[in-house]
């Protein structure tokens, strides 16, 4: 999630890159869903840094 998001401009000028929707879902939501699938168990807490 790091970086300036310059390739996603002008979208990333007003919305943080992880929250930009792709096909109706924010990018970070898709990442967490994929992690849950791989772990095959629920996630109770997630921490994101920038």
The contacts of residue 12 (CB under 8 Å, 6+ apart) are 4, 5, 6, 20
pTM above 0.85, yes or no: no
The contacts of residue 38 (CB under 8 Å, 6+ apart) are none
Read off the pLDDT of residues 9-39 as tens digits, 9 standing for 90 and up. 887 788 888 888 989 999 889 988 999 999 9
CA 31/CA 28 separation, integer angstroms: 5
């Amino acid at each position: 999630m790091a970086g300036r998001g310059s390739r996603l401009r002008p979208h990333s000028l007003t919305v943080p890159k992880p929250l930009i929707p792709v096909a109706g879902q924010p990018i970070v939501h898709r990442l967490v869903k994929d992690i849950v699938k791989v772990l095959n168990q629920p996630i109770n807490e997630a921490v994101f840094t920038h």
